[in-house]
Chains A and B, each alone.
Chain A
């Protein structure tokens, strides 16, 4: 598939990028410099291992912040060795990032420039500062390109390409519609919540998507809770399907099934899942409790 191929190329590029600082490290003048270069190489290599074509692991802020801090430290410790890396700030600013991080990057870029400018003639310092500001602005424009796309889309995207797994926000919207629809069609619909371990979450999510029918959507509520909207002809078939599902899904920590007509809200259901005494709770028992 084309997207897979592109991720492979990106990974290769990241590994190549990791190799270069690693080659630079042995010639360092001081231990800190060598350490910083190794850190940069390590960051790029680990990024290469983590990169994938899905929303499963959104980039964490500390992880994104590290290259900015590394570049600042390198410019401060070895300004005579890597003066040309000052221009790399335009690239760092280009990355998709929250606004406060852009501001921080601009600040750090200014700091780096100020440090290098001490050794320059005033007119050269001024010229380089103006040019750097221009490049940073160009980079910022590139990063803002993506921002409107991301904001609105985040809540409605499915999380992995090709997998019918949706974010929690989508469930709240689907719930009301499915309730009305199944009531009108005379179908027994129920919301099933599953609690799994963090480690087994993604394999079980995949399995759940495979085991449900195409028109039954699955959702990721948080790092270890899955939900599915199951539709069956009647309560009896629903119970059979649930048992079948549970058997083929492997062990889950907690399970709760509620007919759609009785579901008040997603957060109520999640709380009930948390507080229920047994590990599984089916609609038949709900009346007694």
Chain B
């Protein structure tokens, strides 16, 4: 949902930029500077195209950022060599625009490669002070997207829950499974894992988009939460593979859970994909088995073989 809202706001901004360009062309016409009309007038349809492309598929959306970027570059490049004392002021616009529109790596690369060009274009105003000021702007402003990346990586490393659904991430799942194995060993209890595979998941995203994909995931997590106990752990092992860790459960108990879950899942009918299909199988911890070898056994167990 957030993505489409973002795309719309971006498209709206680009459309407003096109309007601004048109206004600029009109202004030049009124002021009688006929030679300067051409560029903004020509770039207006380019930016309008970018606005429409932003609403399309992710690849075209990425291309639209480059179109807007090139437009901004051309306009600033036309402005810089002029006699206006504003040249140093406009110099700050291109690197910021790059950082805002592109991912950090490519933005920094582009900014640093284009530095000599911008500085030479602003030739008349070139002083060591301006060079340092420009470099400071590029480097300091680059810290902002970097901080965002840092925060995101940190959340990913510390949040046990999956981004898309109400199940644990793979790393957290393996951690908890290992500790449950140790606990079972210490207390002499049994441990079972229910392997769940959702064959429709990939197809749902390809054919019906991310909405159907998310609906399928949340239907599964919901149903599992209702059919399992408070201390059973649901984790996402692969894209369409889930493990439900059942502490203190014997094989017959796990088979019972499997039967109950199968029945409940069959009753879930979704709007796009229809009846929820899931393949379940049970795997139990053998007495005296090492946690690592149990995990290996779970991983090699073909999820679709029942």
CB neighbours (8 Å) of B231 from chain A are 177, 180-181
Nearest Cβ on chain A to B158's Cβ, whole angstroms: 4
The reply to whether the CB of A90 lies closer than 8 angstroms to some CB of chain B is yes
The reply to whether the CB of B148 lies closer than 8 angstroms to some CB of chain A is yes
Complex contact B158–A158 (CB within 8 A): yes
Complex contact B133–A215 (CB within 8 A): no
Q: Quick one: which of B2, B93, B100 contacts A138, CB cutoff 8 A?
A: B100
Complex contact B160–A137 (CB within 8 A): no
Nearest Cβ on chain B to A95's Cβ, whole angstroms: 5
Which one of A120-128, A193-201, A258-266 contacts B? A120-128
Complex contact B158–A215 (CB within 8 A): no
Which one of B55-63, B138-146, B249-257, B258-266 contacts A? B138-146
The reply to whether the CB of A240 lies closer than 8 angstroms to some CB of chain B is no
Complex contact B158–A83 (CB within 8 A): no
Given contacts A96-B147, A135-B100, contact A157 B158 (CB under 8 A): yes
Complex contact A135–B144 (CB within 8 A): no
The reply to whether the CB of B152 lies closer than 8 angstroms to some CB of chain A is yes
CB neighbours (8 Å) of A180 from chain B are 230-231
Q: Quick one: which of A51, A53, A138, A145 contacts B148, CB cutoff 8 A?
A: A145
CB neighbours (8 Å) of A3 from chain B are 153, 157
Q: Quick one: which of A20, A27, A54, A184 contacts B140, CB cutoff 8 A?
A: A20
Complex contact B88–A150 (CB within 8 A): no
Which one of A6-14, A241-249, A267-275, A279-287 contacts B? A6-14
Complex contact B143–A156 (CB within 8 A): no
* Contact flags A123-144 to B (C-beta < 8 A → 1, else 0): 1100110110011011101110
Among B93, B149, B178, B230: residue with most chain A CB under 10 A: B93
CA distance A128 to B79 in the complex (A): 12
CA distance A124 to B20 in the complex (A): 12
Closest 6 CB pairs of A and B: A84-B92, A20-B136, A91-B141, A87-B92, A214-B179, A83-B89
A/B interface sample: 16 pairs, CB < 8 A: A10-B150, A24-B129, A24-B136, A83-B92, A84-B91, A85-B137, A87-B137, A88-B92, A88-B96, A91-B140, A95-B144, A127-B24, A153-B155, A180-B231, A214-B178, A214-B182
Complex contact A213–B143 (CB within 8 A): no
